Amino acid sequence: MAMHRIRIVQVFKATRIIEIEVEAEDQDEAIEVVSSGAIDTPHFDDPHWNTGWDLQNEEVEPA
């Protein structure tokens, strides 16, 4: 038997979730303040982010 090189391609969907405190009159205003960019969302590498990964597809093909 001979060795053959193959490529495995995996496609994932990443979901990131964080909960923050926002000072506002009510919840709708808090959502609007964050959505409009009036306050910054936490940095990408903030340790409070929770990330989930879901495998969407996997393909095996010649390399």
Q: Which of 22, 16, 21 is nearest to 47 (CA)?
A: 16
Tell me which residue of 15, 20, 44, 42 sits closest to 31, measured CA to CA.
20
pTM (2 d.p.): 0.69
Question: What's the confidence (pLDDT) of residue 46?
Answer: 97
pLDDT by residue for the chain (63 residues), tens digit each?
Answer: 999 999 999 999 999 999 999 999 999 999 999 999 999 999 999 999 999 999 999 999 999
